[in-house]
Structure 1
Amino acid sequence: MENVTFDYPAWTVNDSDGLCNISLSPEEVLSHTYIHSIICAFGLIGNVLVMITYGFYKTTKTMTDVYLFNVAVADLIFVVALPLIAHNEQNGWPMGSVACKMLRSAYSINLYSGMLLLACISCDRYIAIVQARRSFGSRSHAVMYSRLICSAVWVFALFLTLPTLIYTELFEEHDLIELSSTLTCELTFKHRKTAELMKVMVPSLQMAVGFLLPLVVMVFCYSSIMCTLLKAHNSQRHKAIRVVWAVVVVFIMCHFPYNVTLLIHTVFLFMERSCEEEKTRLTVLATSRSIAYLHCCLNPVLYAFIGVKFRSHFRKILSDLWCFGKKYLYSARLSCGTSEVCISGLRTSEGSNIMSSFSA
């Protein structure tokens, strides 16, 4: 039985030259490395702060809070795996088959869970604004329902990731020009029919569940929310409408190019392609995929830092960090004085100045 790889083969048919190398150029690899490093840095900082704020500082939880915490967890899983994925792609795959499966599955889990949770957030906001009379009852019941929904989303995301987890294997890729071989981590199949099925099913699930379904839900919910806000006589409605527009536009700008490119790639998968066409298609696919990755570091800004309540809790984190630094850099006498009241190592007068400097 022959092994058939799902990911793009290192060689493709060219009418004039026979075989050609379609791997990314060193310049493209370097640019993607820089982009992924920026995504990893900002995504790590933003999502960790969101988790700390909602996990330890925000005592009164809402359904959206629980959803945002889980979105941050999903994004954090991916940004932690991203540098390891990039390193292994550039240097072969020295980390073994278990790491191969886990790291390749990280993106799928983030995609399905993150996108579905964003759809849940839009539904929660729709019920709170458009269907204001409907309620999940008390706060404790609402939080319980949201946790059950999040658990169901995670189970569903893991189920959809099973094909990637099962079929991802280490594959020895041979360079027929350089007469060398490298160890890569790709979806690999022993039967051609299984390969043909998975080549269509995996990207189709990504486009349908990871993009189209959340997009339809978000467009419906946020369109209804905007109509309700336009009818409301509220001084803050214009700001709320701008936030709604930002959420939808950023989602489309990040994920639409990659999904369109993925659709085109899937359509041409079983057709004969020239070398130059395949090079161009894979370059566009890699670039649009990096743009889609950006969404994981924009989520904290769009869904958390814009909120006034979240910013107030975030200022509390900064004041506590300031206290922590003062405690170890200065003595208690210098940091608090002898006649002033110190809360968590910070003078109340100094704390109020810091708090006011971060006010909206």
Structure 2
Amino acid sequence: MVQQINTTVTTSESYEDYNHTTFDYESYEELCMKHDIRRFASVFLPAFYSVAFVVGIAGNSLVVAVYAYYKKMKTKTDVYLLNLAVADLLLLFTLPFWAVDASIGWQSGNAMCKITSALYTINFSSGMQFLACISLDRYFAVIKVSTNQNFRRKCWAICFFVWITSVLLCIPDLQFSEVKEHNGKNACLPTYPKDSVKEVTAFIQFLESVCCFVIPFAIMLFCYSAIARILVKTPNIKRSRSLKVLLAVVGMFLITQLPYNAIKVWRAIDIVYALITSCQISKTLDIMMQVTSSMALFHCCLNPLLYAYMGTTFKSYVTQTVKKVGSWRRQRTQSSEEYSMCSNNHVEETDSFSI
């Protein structure tokens, strides 16, 4: 989400995390001007959000289209992949709002501020949880634990639990997000009670990091490590490719999510203990927060590549779908040409076109 940057006074400074959370530092003794950081955000964030929106919408829409119109839900992983793609799409649809916010300020009103903030949190957190669900399902499949009994009921119950958990995490956004004047323009940001702003902000950041990174990563690490140990002991010519896929999945999750969550936890600690007293360090941290939060967001553009396109079955469905679309377009073109050549009344006859 857009990173708002404040200009400080001699005794206090306001910061916002990726959710625009405002808190005060009271131990600063220097004037910290952040006009350059805000200029960087106004250029970098809209450009990045635009690229992520186009790439992510294209990839995840293809996943949803293939699952909806071509491929039947045969496994839990199929259901989780579909829910993951839907969560990524809903998250990506919020990006145009944050791009405008970073560039010229919030223009969509207070209600959309609450809704967009909530949607961002819901779909970001649910996406991370569905990644953990996929790793669990693959683990049970490898150790050959039967999960076919009441497959649909259990699977959709898990999906329902994931969505409910994500909705609960967005309650602070619905409650506190509002449009306020900030650095000379309107901004969508949460405004917490003044008497507990530091505690609430730190608690929410820790909670989000635990639910959206620590727990999913712990599950993925356990499951994929166990799968890797089993694959190493299994004589199979496809073992090398499977290990590369596992390494790519875990590696991409770490690369995109670890820097962002590490900085977010550090800033949550700083909210309470005011450890940062240097203006330059504060500016560096602001830029790092913007870059790493964008990296974390870009994971939703990579999910189709990692979890769908790497599967040979899914790629075959995509190939067949593309061939069908190409055949359909050729048939339409041929039909249109035949109609144009044979029809005598599709246009009004005039002196210019009569033969």
TM-score range relative to shorter protein: 0.7 to 0.9
Of 148, 166, 169, the residue aligned with 1:137 is 148
Normalized against structure 2, the TM-score is what? 0.84
The SS at the match of 2:94 is helix
Q: Give the letter aligned to residue 107 of structure 2.
A: P
Q: Which is worse superposed, 309-318 or 31-40?
A: 31-40
Partner of 1:339: none
- Count matched residues: 320
Partner of 1:329: 333
Listed as ranges, the gaps of 5+ residues in structure 2 are 1-13, 339-355
Rounded to whole Å, the distance in 1 between the matches of 2:174 and 2:21 is 18
Partner of 1:184: 187
Rounded to whole Å, the distance in 2 between the matches of 1:32 and 1:190 is 29
Listed as ranges, the gaps of 5+ residues in structure 1 are 176-180, 335-360
Q: Indicate how the Cα distance of structure 1 residues 8 and 187 shifts in structure 2: closer, same or farther if over 3 A, else same.
A: closer
**Root mean square deviation, CA, Å:** 2.3
Matches within 5 A, 1:109-188: 109-130=122-143, 132=144, 134-138=145-149, 141-173=150-182, 175=183, 181-188=184-191
Q: Deviations over 1:228-286 (max 9, x none)?
A: 11111111111101101110000000000001111111111241634322211111100
The SS at the match of 1:20 is coil
Matches within 5 A, 1:1-360: 7=20, 15-16=29-30, 18=31, 20-21=33-34, 24-130=37-143, 132=144, 134-138=145-149, 141-173=150-182, 175=183, 181-193=184-196, 195-270=197-272, 271=274, 273-331=277-335
Contact 1:112 1:157 in 2 (8 A): yes
Q: Which is worse superposed, 292-301 or 106-115?
A: 106-115
Contact 2:46 2:102 in 1 (8 A): no
Q: Deviations over 1:129-178 (max 9, x none)?
A: 02x0x21235xx223311111011101110111112211111122x4xxx
Rounded to whole Å, the distance in 1 between the matches of 2:115 and 2:189 is 12
Contact 2:22 2:191 in 1 (8 A): no
Normalized against structure 1, the TM-score is what? 0.83
Q: Deviations over 1:269-320 (max 9, x none)?
A: 2416343222111111001011111100100011001111111111122122
Rounded to whole Å, the distance in 2 between the matches of 1:332 and 1:57 is 27
Q: Deviations over 1:99-132 (max 9, x none)?
A: 10111122211221111111011000000002x0
Rounded to whole Å, the distance in 1 between the matches of 2:23 and 2:236 is 59
Rounded to whole Å, the distance in 2 between the matches of 1:22 and 1:218 is 41
Contact 1:258 1:285 in 2 (8 A): yes
The SS at the match of 2:33 is strand
Rounded to whole Å, the distance in 1 between the matches of 2:236 and 2:123 is 37
Q: Indicate how the Cα distance of structure 1 residues 156 and 9 shifts in structure 2: closer, same or farther if over 3 A, else same.
A: closer
The SS at the match of 1:183 is strand
Q: Give the letter aligned to residue 136 of structure 1.
A: T
Partner of 1:355: none
Q: Percent identity?
A: 30
